Structure 1
């Protein structure tokens, strides 16, 4: 199925324009989600939109947005009035400037989107913008309106398309001083730095997301499968941290421990479960694989519904 675009409009660099579509680059839909239930009846909890004063349920068409000026006093704003703001970025991503990727503070990053040409026209103009960014190793900065708000967006090439990352505005990023002021000034000795560098070098590698497994998600799946099978749930012992008394000794022991792990033959690690297969498939069936295969030829196994509350 062709993915559905979150936004369609135009990408413009000076007089070069092409129609484009914006798609979410990430997804949370494969994660386990829970419904809220009434412990007494086992029924789902239903949320209603009610008038805070009368307690009467209010239909969606009768709900408008309101900005609270002071306690109990609101300025109403309708959807039509918001649409009439008509910022140009509602329909066009206008590239304002080009910057170095290293200049973008990671705190400003929100979420990534994929950008591709929309329809059969505009591929040439899109390719010119993409290849220029790639050749000059720059990030293009523009603006786009999503969910009724204007966002800064940083565009960079990825394979045949572009990745656009939404950025926060300065007022959305908290000042670090109020959090870091109480950190003591400590003099770190050369010996400590040498040992720490040695540990870093022993653990150096390339970031490969495929090596990592969401352990909490895996534990949730195991928990649900155990409960479905009627097995007793035994709580696991929580890991406990240790107080560091002698930092130099801890560093030396870390170096020795990592060196021993490096020399020891590595056991074949568990392959992370493929997210593409979907977490639903991991939940079922409880029976052994052979039994499950036989059952599958007769009747599809029931799967638990995972609708969000």
Structure 2
């Protein structure tokens, strides 16, 4: 069964347009979710809206939208008034420009969508727009209305279709200087930087999302299975955090050695015990010689 389209409209490039459909490219269906339940009856709980001042339960026909002008004072906005805010791109993905891909700050990327032609008649025009974008190696910036909001969308070829990713507006991003301004600039030696560089080269790989493992999700599923089967749940041991100050250069050197260093550290106590065993054997041989002489 074909997935249900999230949005239907037209993709427009100047005077060329074609019907398209949008599908969300991401999903959270597989994630483990919990419901609030009554611990005494085992029944699921339902939430109710409560008037913050009177404490009365508010029925669905009493609910409305309001914008807070000042503390406790709201201006009510009716549904019809919101719908009256007409935006030109309501049912059209209007391409405004094409920009180099590497010029888009990754912080602006938001939600991804698959864009496909809607019907056989749309395939030709869709292919023309898609293939032209492939040849130019640029990303289209377009406008689209989703959930009553206008979004800027970055569109690029993906296989036989297009990938559209909504972008955040500048006012939605926080200024990094508010968080990075207080970071000091310490004097780091060239040797340390070179060692860190060697570690980076040693850990170099290619991007492969199939290797991503959601360990927390797996642990949740295991927890649910054990609890449902009546098996006891053992609390995890709290992770110990080192409180000692380590030598940065030593840590870099140990990191560069990798697993071998870890194994040697694990074996170190045994090697430290070796002199004691040798001393014990030496004392035993000395006692034996003394008894033989006697």
Q: Aligning the two structures, in what range does the TM-score lie when normalised by the shorter sequence?
A: 0.7 to 0.9
Higher deviation after alignment, 88-97 or 239-248: 239-248
Aligned to 1:306: none
Aligned to 1:156: 156
Cα distance in 2 for residues equivalent to 1:220 and 1:231: 14
Cα offsets for 1:154-210 (capped at 9, x unmatched): 001100011111111000000011111111112322211111111111111111111
Question: Are 1:174 and 2:174 matched, yes or no?
Answer: yes
Which secondary structure state, in structure 1, belongs to the residue aligned with residue 120 of structure 2?
A: coil
Report the CA distance between 1:38 and its aligned residue. 2.6
TM-score by length of 2: 0.83
Which secondary structure state, in structure 2, belongs to the residue aligned with residue 183 of structure 1?
A: coil
Cα distance in 2 for residues equivalent to 1:131 and 1:27: 28
Instruction: Confirm or deny: 8 A CA contact 2:108 2:169 kept in the other structure.
Output: yes
Aligned to 1:134: 134
Over the aligned positions, Cα root-mean-square deviation in angstroms equals: 1.8
Higher deviation after alignment, 57-66 or 11-20: 57-66
Aligned to 1:253: 254
Q: How many residues of Structure 1 are paired with residues of Structure 2 in the alignment?
A: 261
Larger Rg belongs to: 2
Cα distance in 1 for residues equivalent to 2:50 and 2:253: 63
Report the CA distance between 1:57 and its aligned residue. 3.9
Q: Residues 36-75 of structure 1 correspond to what in structure 2 (within 5 A)?
A: 36-75=36-75
Aligned to 2:270: none
Higher helix share: 2
Inter-CA distance 238–121: structure 2 relative to 1 (3 Å threshold): farther
TM-score by length of 1: 0.79
Report the CA distance between 1:119 and its aligned residue. 1.9
Which secondary structure state, in structure 1, belongs to the residue aligned with residue 112 of structure 2?
A: strand
Q: Residues 199-210 of structure 1 correspond to what in structure 2 (within 5 A)?
A: 199-210=199-210
Instruction: Confirm or deny: 8 A CA contact 1:108 1:169 kept in the other structure.
Output: yes
Report the CA distance between 1:53 and its aligned residue. 4.4
Question: Are 1:95 and 2:95 matched, yes or no?
Answer: yes
Aligned to 1:165: 165
Structure 1: gaps (5+ residues)? 262-309
Higher deviation after alignment, 232-241 or 95-104: 232-241
Aligned to 1:121: 121
Which secondary structure state, in structure 2, belongs to the residue aligned with residue 193 of structure 1?
A: helix
Q: Residues 1-309 of structure 1 correspond to what in structure 2 (within 5 A)?
A: 1-242=1-242, 243-257=244-258
